[in-house]
């Protein structure tokens, strides 16, 4: 009897650090692991968020048995509200208590009511039709991170999720080595593993090492202390709170996501700090400077974050002053380096005592470095291997690590988004790719912004725009007037010689175009645009966007 193959299809997560989403499909059953987003960089002007294209899921939603979220970071949860709104079926969401708590706040913002949450605990086994999943603990930069062992009739798949091997984690929940060894004994036919730090040699330091530095800096600060971190980095927030309390400081929380996440984490028991030690940012008036620590958003230099507003004097209750200590407890996400540098310079000009990763161990990664990745490969002993979660430089470095510990190079698959692996009878091969790509969230518009729009926005931001308004006489076709309206163009409106020559160029071009193309408005406008663009390049080596408007009077 012929059986179908298990399909493994990453829809995101393989062209950058973000928008992680992978489909596992067998016959009439399908699960989705993670639904993340990615934040835009300077090449995406006006774009708010970037999502994976999940058209394939919508086309096969009748097979969808559940959505599994491995942990609570935005690059694994952020696309979930958009996916749920596009699905016609009510799909259960499986994850840990903390992750579901963080997701619930996000879904409430999108007015998604009564989601079908299913809490999962480490070691639990759940069946999704013919796809069976064992959940196991992983150490990461957020509590309650899962790896997955996926059992199917055609073979077994180990999905590591995001992980590092931290033997002294803040919450004492370690990677489930016993479980991984048990899975290896059952047979790991295919392993998908986090590649983020594959190019980095050695081991990633323990989160507790950051706590030592934070404690020392906070204890010795003479005035107020401001700590900017990811709002979802609960382990880091716990260490900051512990250091603040030990130094006799109250903790004030500001920034929408920071306020929301600390509240949820405290309610669920993941963030432990006494009520008397944590206060609202509006209640700081009577607290001496040397008795206050402010926990805030803004570690990525976001212009509207709490840290940026405090540095610019635009925050409602707080401002950073000379002598204050500011700790940036994060590493810039690729693309955010410039924004972070700008906020560091702003803080330095104020006279703040700024700490970032270049000055001390105020941040460590939540992802394992080369030796940790090799250790997990050695424990799991996969027959086939596919590095995931990263850019090309990360996945290829991870492939080399796998080769170095004995994985057959012919059994290593380096995937792109939309490509498909098929697992059948314990063997992995290439399958047929599916449509994939990215979807831009631009204000309230989703999926309408394309590369042409982004190209035009970049051009406008770099070169400016000129509208040339030409009026011609209906009877004779003679040019009656030419006017220029410009924005962001270096040539000023009173540069009479330049504009006079540009006007002559437009008149000659229009006269010739009317003779050649008759009343073809599109061809005439194109001729004017190309002629004026050429003139600007000849005179200034610039190419502003040119919009011709030809009117008859």
| Residues forming the active site | 194, 367
Burial 332-370 (b: 16+ CB within 10 A, else e): bbebbeebbeebbebbeebebbbbbeeeeebbbbbbbbb
Residue 432: CB atoms within 10 A of its CB come to 9
Give the end-to-end CA distance of the chain in Å, rounded to a whole number.
79
Residue from 10, 175, 150, 29 nearest 76 by CA: 10
What is the 3-state secondary structure of 45-105?
CCCCEEEECCHHHHHCHHHEEEEECCCCCHHHHCCHHHHHHHCCCCCCEEECHHHHHHHHH
Q: Give the integer Cα–Cα distance in Å for 162 and 148.
A: 11
Question: What is the C-alpha R_g of the chain?
Answer: 28
Q: Are strands 225-228 and 292-296 parallel, antiparallel or unpaired?
A: parallel
Residue from 180, 59, 65, 56 nearest 131 by CA: 65
Answer positive or negative: Cα dihedral of 337, 339, 340, 341. positive
Spatial CB neighbours of 277, under 8 Å, sequence gap ≥ 6: 241, 244, 245, 250, 251
Residue from 222, 286, 293 nearest 254 by CA: 293
Q: How many residues does the structure list for the chain? A: 553
Residue 425: CB atoms within 10 A of its CB come to 10
Spatial CB neighbours of 357, under 8 Å, sequence gap ≥ 6: 328, 331, 363
Q: Give the integer Cα–Cα distance in Å for 55 and 70.
A: 21
Give yes or no for a contact between 482 and 506, defined as CB atoms under 8 angstroms apart: yes
Helices (H) and strands (E) in the chain, counts: 15, 26
In 144-196, where do the E strands start and end?
145-152, 155-159, 190-194
Max intra-chain CA distance, the chain: 89
In 13-99, where do the E strands start and end?
21-26, 29-33, 49-52, 64-68, 93-95
Spatial CB neighbours of 515, under 8 Å, sequence gap ≥ 6: none
Q: Give the integer Cα–Cα distance in Å for 179 and 177.
A: 5
* DSSP SS3 for 338: helix
Q: Tokens for 40?
A: 């835009």
């Amino acid at each position: 009897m012929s059986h179908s193959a298990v399909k493994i299809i990453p829809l995101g997560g393989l062209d950058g650090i973000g928008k992680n989403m992978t489909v596992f499909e067998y016959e009439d059953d399908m699960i989705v692991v993670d639904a993340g987003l990615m934040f835009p960089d300077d090449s995406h002007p006006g774009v708010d968020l970037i999502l994976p294209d999940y058209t394939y899921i919508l086309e096969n939603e009748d097979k969808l048995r559940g959505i599994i979220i491995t942990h609570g970071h935005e690059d694994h949860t952020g696309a979930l509200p958009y996916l749920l709104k596009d699905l016609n079926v009510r799909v259960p969401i499986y994850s840990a208590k903390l992750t579901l708590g963080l997701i619930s706040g996000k879904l409430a913002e999108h007015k998604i009511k009564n989601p079908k949450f299913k809490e999962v605990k480490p070691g639990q086994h759940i069946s999704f039709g013919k796809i069976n999943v064992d959940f196991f603990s992983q150490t990461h930069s957020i509590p309650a991170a899962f790896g997955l062992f996926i059992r199917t009739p055609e073979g077994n798949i180990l999905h590591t999720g995001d992980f590092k091997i931290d033997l002294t984690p803040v919450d004492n929940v370690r990677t489930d080595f016993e479980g991984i060894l048990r899975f290896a004994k059952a047979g790991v036919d295919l392993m998908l593993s986090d590649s983020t730090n594959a190019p980095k040699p050695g081991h990633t330091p323990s989160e507790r090492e950051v706590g030592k530095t934070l404690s020392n800096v906070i204890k010795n600060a003479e005035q107020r202390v401001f700590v900017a971190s990811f709002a979802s980095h609960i382990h880091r927030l716990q260490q900051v709170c512990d250091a603040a309390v030990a130094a006799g400081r109250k903790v004030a929380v500001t920034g929408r996501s920071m306020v929301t996440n600390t509240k949820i984490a405290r309610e669920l028991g993941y963030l432990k700090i006494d009520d008397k030690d944590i206060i609202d940012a509006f209640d700081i008036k009577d607290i001496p400077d040397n008795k206050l620590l402010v926990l805030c958003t803004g570690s990525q230099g976001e212009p509207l974050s709490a840290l940026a507003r405090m540095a610019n004097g635009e925050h409602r209750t707080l401002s950073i002053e000379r002598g204050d200590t500011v700790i940036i407890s994060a590493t810039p996400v690729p693309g955010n380096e410039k924004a972070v540098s700008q906020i560091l310079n702003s803080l330095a000009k104020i006279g703040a005592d700024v700490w970032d990763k270049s000055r001390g161990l105020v941040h460590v990664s939540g992802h394992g470095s080369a030796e940790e990745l090799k250790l997990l490969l050695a424990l799991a002993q996969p027959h086939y291997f596919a590095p995931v979660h990263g850019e090309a430089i990360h996945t290829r470095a991870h492939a080399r690590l796998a080769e170095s510990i004995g994985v057959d190079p012919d059994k290593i698959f380096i995937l792109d988004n939309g490509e498909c692996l098929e697992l059948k009878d314990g063997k992995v091969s290439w399958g047929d790719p599916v449509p994939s790509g990215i979807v831009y969230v631009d204000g309230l518009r989703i999926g309408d912004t394309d590369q042409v729009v982004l190209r035009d926005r970049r051009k406008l931001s770099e070169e400016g725009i000129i509208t040339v308004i030409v009026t011609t006489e209906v009877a004779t076709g003679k040019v009656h007037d030419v006017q220029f309206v410009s924005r962001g163009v270096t040539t000023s409106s009173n540069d009479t010689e330049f504009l006079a020559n540009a006007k002559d160029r437009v008149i000659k071009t229009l006269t010739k175009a009317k003779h050649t193309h008759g009343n073809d408005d599109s061809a005439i406008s194109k001729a004017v645009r190309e002629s004026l663009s050429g003139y600007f390049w000849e005179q200034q080596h610039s190419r502003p966007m040119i919009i011709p408007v030809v009117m008859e009077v």
